[in-house]
Amino acid sequence: MPRLDDDHTGARIREQRRLARLTQKQLAERIPYSYSLLNQVECGARPATADFVAAVSRALKVDVTVLTGQPYVTELQRDRLAELIRPIREALDLYDLGPNPDLRVRPSTQLIAAADQLCVEVRATHLRNAARELPGVIAELTHTASSTPSTELWQALASAYRTAHDITVKLGYYDLSAVALDRMDWAAQRASDPCLAAVRQYMRALVYFREGEYTIGQRLVRAGHGLVGQSEQTREALAVAGQLHLGAAVMSARADDQDAVDRHLSAARAIADRIGDASDVHWLSFGPANVDLHRMSTAVEMHQYDDALTQARKMKLPPTMPTSRRAHFLIDRARTEMETGQTEAALTSLVEARRAAPEQTRYHPGARETITSLVHLSRRTPDTLNHMAAWIGM
């Protein structure tokens, strides 16, 4: 049976609490969670959920990654993914140097197609492929957009920066993901594209969502709606507005505001019913199925696990649903199954998530926390769980 060592989120919370010279009861008084839950999280008996970690990080005044241990460098090095981060960092840093006369550049149409292909790779969870190709695409687009600027080229460059954000978030390099969003804004302004700028605000909101700053996140969503309002009510604008409502719904769930959750989900549903599947718009995966997924996510965030599991069992994801979104659903489902005492089903969901999206699942904090808790709960660890625990580095 794998041994629960000090390399899990609960143990890191315990360490940071002691550095702050707080007892468990003192820390529990500063967060909206019980002393009993804090005790169980620190020993690994309960998962350190994202909302719990965000609350503790605010109380202890440390970054979320200090508690989650991200990026998971040892596993990244074993998977030879860590070596792909430096070229991305350099590509993001050289944004303002203009044309590079020493660079061999593909035609504009090929570069725009390459930026789209990167989005396809990320949504298929082929993170290694996307990370390997990304720096070159950014360099070529930067050169071409600076030499012969056009709306389409700046849009493609903004999309490439957005891909840099997606990759670095999934691999746990949150500092770099913030830089990528700044670069996305820089390119979106040159494209004069309000919808693209609104997508960037949505992604900024998710950063504050992760940090537990829900009020700021909701402000950013409102700013995104303001930007979308500057454009005509096209299918693109409606899809972006719908996705903003979904983001606001999940943030409202974290803030325990059921009325706001219902309001935003209702608005998103009305848009989805109007335009149907719009997963091709800015690679947001917006549509009726994504609204259903977010309805389940809000139940999970509000700890309404029985309701969330009922929804999960009824859900039939369309074949067109991106692998990244499908894997996220399976990780959420595993959490609800574990919280409702169905540990075997939870393990099955995690194995399915690993099979569908191994790179994404291995570096997803929620998946790792659920595996850790399953190990703690198991009197006799099944071989499959042993393999999963070893796979995440336990």
Final residue in a domain of this structure, among 192, 207, 235:
192
CA 210 → CA 60, 75, 128, 269, 306, distances in Å? 16, 22, 24, 24, 24
Can you name the residues that pair with 286 across neighbouring β-strands? 278
Q: Side chain identity at 299, as an amino acid letter?
A: A
Average pLDDT over residues 83-104: 94
Domain assignment of residue 121, yes or no: yes
* Whether residue 65 sits in one domain with residue 18: yes
The larger pLDDT score, comparing residue 46 to residue 188, is at 188
State residue 68's pLDDT score: 92
State residue 91's pLDDT score: 96
Coil, strand or helix: which one is 279?
A: coil
Average pLDDT over residues 136-151: 96
* Whether residue 88 sits in one domain with residue 188: yes
* Whether residue 130 sits in one domain with residue 183: yes
CA distance 277 to 293: 14
* Whether residue 86 sits in one domain with residue 60: no
* CATH number reported for the structural domain that contains residue 58 in this entry: 1.10.260.40
Q: Which residue is listed with tokens 């409202």?
A: 252
* Whether residue 184 sits in one domain with residue 127: yes
* Whether residue 183 sits in one domain with residue 146: yes
Task: Specify the range with the lowest mean pLDDT, choosing from 124-128, 145-149, 232-236, 374-378.
Answer: 374-378
* Whether residue 91 sits in one domain with residue 54: no
Average pLDDT over residues 362-375: 91
State residue 6's pLDDT score: 65
pLDDT range class, residue 361, cuts 50, 70, 90: very high
pLDDT range class, residue 4, cuts 50, 70, 90: low
* Whether residue 162 sits in one domain with residue 123: yes
- Here the tokens at position 213 are 């700053």
State residue 106's pLDDT score: 96
Q: Please check the confidence at residue 197 and state whether its pLDDT lies above 50.
A: yes
pLDDT range class, residue 8, cuts 50, 70, 90: confident
Domain count, the chain: 3
CA distance 173 to 162: 14
Q: What is the extent of the structural domain holding 326?
A: 322-394
Q: Are 240 and 281 in contact (CB under 8 A)?
A: yes
Please tell me the pTM assigned to this model.
0.91
Domain assignment of residue 243, yes or no: no
State residue 1's pLDDT score: 45
Mean residue pLDDT of the chain comes to 93
Residue 33 phi/psi, 5° resolution?
A: -140, 160
